[in-house]
Amino acid sequence: MHGPEATPGDGPAPLQALNLVRTPVWVFDIDRRRVHWANDAALQVWRAESLAELCGRDMGADMSPTVATRLAQYQADFLRHDARFNEQWTLYPEGRPVSLHVHFCGYRLADGRMAMLCQGEPVGTASPESLRSVEALLHTPMMIALYAPDGRPLWRNPAARASVRDAGEQLAERFVDADAWQRLAAELASQGHVTLTMAVNTAAGQRWHEVSARRGLDAVTGEVAMLVSETDVTPLKESEARALYLSDHDVLTGLPNRSFAQQAFERLARRVLQSTAQPALQAAVVLIDLDRFKDVNDSWGHAAGDALLVQVAERLRRAVRRDDIVARFGGDEFLILLCAPDVRSEIERIHPRLRQLLAQPYLLGGSPAQLSATVGASVFPDHGQDFETLLQHADLAMYQGKAGGRDALAFYQTGLSEQLRARTQLEQELRRALAEREFVLFFQPRVGPKPGQTLGAEALVRWRHPQRGWVLPGEFIPVLEAMGQMRELGRQVFELAAQQQAAWHAAGWQLKLSVNLSPGEFADPWLLQDLQDTLARTECPPSALELEITESMLIGEDDRPLETLRALRALGLSLALDDFGTGYSNLAYLQRFPFDTLKIDRRFVQAPEHERGLTGAIVGLCRTLGLRPVAEGVETVSQQAWLMELGVREFQGYLFAPPLPAADFEARLRR
């Protein structure tokens, strides 16, 4: 046996015989891109002087990449199955085109490598046109194939051959989706031609192809055949899919967006209406708004804010059932859509879990942050027929939840829109009232045991509303607290009280005037400074003023309340514990905090006879701790009588006088 390195001219013995054949025959070494052996007829076609000269030619020098790929593909086909091909080739010996009809198959070289054995036949009278079209077919990236009516492959161009997973593959096997293939076949049968974009199994995995099929005849056999051409449209299809995804998803969190939610709601609504279940199915639109998210953005930056939103999205997903829909509405607003027989209870069940998940600390730039959310919900079909209305109603409920102190769940109720409109109007009016100083103090006398004896007064704020007249603090103080405006009212009140007291003091009236502090004011870091400034400005003696503080302001782990109370005392102010008995009534507070006065709440003052023991105990406690008890809300002579028996010496209540305008209070003093 000769090795492949043997003089090319000799050729292996079986090949030598082919020198007798009149048609050109040659062996092509695919790996080395060289002719390995050729018979005399082939030498003539190649216009070679000798076999040695032909074998010395580097055929790879100006080989196009398409041809190179095709050759590799043939080699693989030869190796896998004993493949044979017929193709029309154009060779370019010395640059001049020669067309041959070539039959070729695999040929194993002595060293075991796979080469190809080719036999050419003259094409004869092929027209330049047909030569060009053959060239085009061989070089186009479009996959073109001919199939028998039963789907058996008859012929494929190189691109089609490179694309199939197996040369023997039937047409139907090519398509991922059986339905799509059926559609193609049906339309081909009825129309004679069809173009569809389909998912196709290829040697390179699953791809999207635009497939055109046409019924026709096989030009070689004259039999009916299908001509199928395919182009790869995967990148197009992917960008289309991405565009579709983007159109109904939020890029930051990957959650569905508003338009997706809208469509999902329509589906849920149909389900609810079609359901005959008992109890009836309901759907809910639940809006979730993060509390004070703006602070996060302001203090940590937008990147941190975004990172937090991503974590929130994840936690919301965990809080709901698998079929519930969580969407992001932009900003810090999220939405949950759910469907259940008693959807209200379902939401009430989910809410604690959601609160708990959201409350777990978040890591922002290395430091942990805390978060809460206010949730507003509306129910289909009770609170609205369409998505927009339900959203508006959920929004109103959420707004109400925020006004009520955040971190809450609120459901829409009929009439809520009215309530909220009224609330918004009240807020606007209060802003104006603060700016226009429409607040006025009334004074309720604090009296002694002797008739007509006035020891002091409690300053109680009233709003002189331009249309409504006097408005009581129960209506506006909680609203101002929620608006964060209580500090402003507190300053005005203290200013009015100090001014008034300074005037009375100058007029020679020795009175103790007490002023109420709200929780927000008490916790305000500027409180001491504000009070100090006002005292200095009004020249009011601090000892003539008393501050009323409720127990709830004293609760806490730290020493802040105690420090604040001590600082207030250091300013020279007296301190009263207000509403004693209504809250925690923690005796430790009485001992620990430096109060002068204890105001016994009217509940204990107006208590029926059999409950008066507790009131007695409170008075006894005052004696032990050196506190002056003041009975509030005294309305009857008998109430005053038994309080006197207990040893109480100071009283407030309608029995003596209601809160009075300054002029009336002064008139009373003069009497």
Binding ligand C2E (rule: CB under 6 A), the pick from 578, 580, 604, 665 is 578
Contacted by 474, from Ca ion, ligand C2E, none: CB < 5 to 8 Å by type? ligand C2E
Give whichever of 415 and 474 is closer to ligand C2E, judged by the CB atom.
474
Does 460 participate in binding ligand C2E (rule CB under 6 A)?
yes
CB of 517 to ligand C2E, least distance (A): 6
d(CA 16, CA 116): 16
CA distance 343 to 275: 14
Q: Count of residues binding ligand C2E (CB under 6 A)? A: 22
Count of CB atoms situated within 10 Å of the CB of 325: 18
The answer to whether 487 touches 521, Cβ cutoff 8 Å, is: yes
Give me the half-sphere count of Cα atoms (radius 13 Å) on the Cβ side of residue 469: 0
Tokens of residue 576, six digits: 């009263």
Which is nearer to ligand C2E, 346 or 578 (by Cβ)? 578
Using a 10 angstrom Cβ sphere, with 0-12 exposed, 13-18 middle and 19 or more buried, the burial of residue 370 is exposed
Q: Pick the closer one to ligand C2E by CB: 296 or 577.
A: 577
Instruction: State yes or no: residue 635 binds ligand C2E (CB under 6 A).
Output: yes
- Pairwise CA distance, residues 241 & 408, whole Å: 39
Distance of closest approach, residue 653 Cβ to ligand C2E, in angstroms: 4
Task: Give the span between the Cα atoms of 103 and 83, in whole angstroms.
Answer: 11
Q: Considering only residues 163, 378, 444, 485, which one is a binding residue for ligand C2E as defined by CB under 6 A?
A: 444
Residue 517 partner contact from Ca ion, ligand C2E, none using kind-dependent CB cut-offs of 5 to 8 Å: ligand C2E
Residues binding Ca ion (CB under 5 A):
516, 548, 578-579
When the beta carbons of 202 and 585 are compared against ligand C2E, the nearer one is 585
Whole-number minimum distance, CB 497 to ligand C2E, in Å? 8
**Smallest distance from the beta carbon of 479 to ligand C2E, in angstroms?**
13
**Residue 477 and residue 488: Cα distance in Å, rounded?**
11
Q: Which pair of structure tokens corresponds to residue 385?
A: 């027929």
x/- map, 24-53, ligand C2E, by CB under 6 A: ------------------------------
Position 654 contacts ligand C2E (CB under 6 A)? yes
Are 310 and 248 within 8 A, CB to CB?
no
Q: What is the spatial distance between Cα 204 and Cα 226, in angstroms, rounded to a whole number? A: 24
Token pair, residue 17, equals: 């015989």
Report the DSSP beta bridge partners of residue 321: none
DSSP annotation of 292 reads: T
Q: Are residues 233 and 210 in contact, defined by beta-carbon separation less than 8 angstroms?
A: yes
Residues numbered 473-492 forming contacts with ligand C2E, rule: CB under 6 A: 473-474, 477
Q: Token digits for 552?
A: 């709830």
Give the residue with the Cβ less far from Ca ion, 495 or 578: 578
Looking only at residues 587 through 616 of this chain, which bind ligand C2E when binding is defined by CB under 6 A? 602
- From residue 574, alpha-carbon distances to 489, 514, 595, 630 in Å are 21, 9, 7, 14
* Element at 131 (helix H, strand E): helix 128-139
579 touches ligand C2E by CB under 6 A: yes
- State yes or no: residue 633 binds ligand C2E (CB under 6 A): yes
- Among ligand C2E, Ca ion, none, what does residue 477 contact (CB within 5–8 Å per kind)? ligand C2E
| Closest CB to ligand C2E among residues 48, 461 | 461
Q: How far is the CB of 617 from ligand C2E (least distance, A)?
A: 21
Instruction: At 418, list the tokens.
Output: 């009215």
Q: How far is CA 97 from the centre of its chain?
A: 65
**Which residues, listed in sequence order, are joined to residue 286 by a DSSP beta bridge?**
336, 377
Residue 180 to residue 186: CA distance in whole angstroms: 10
Residue 469 touches ligand C2E, criterion: CB under 6 A: no
**Residue 461, binding choice from ligand C2E, Ca ion, none, Cβ under 5 to 8 Å by partner class:** ligand C2E
Instruction: Report what 659 binds from Ca ion, ligand C2E, none; CB cut-off 5-8 Å by kind.
Output: ligand C2E
Residue 471 binding: pick among Ca ion, ligand C2E, none (C-beta 5-8 Å cut-off by kind) = none
The smaller minimum CB distance to Ca ion, of residues 495 and 579, is found at 579
| Angstrom distance (rounded) from CA 604 to CA 619 | 11
For residue 659, state whether it binds ligand C2E (rule: CB under 6 A). yes
524 binds ligand C2E (CB under 6 A): no
> Interface residues with ligand C2E (CB under 6 A)?
444, 459-461, 472-474, 477, 493, 516-518, 548, 578-579, 602, 633, 635, 652-654, 659
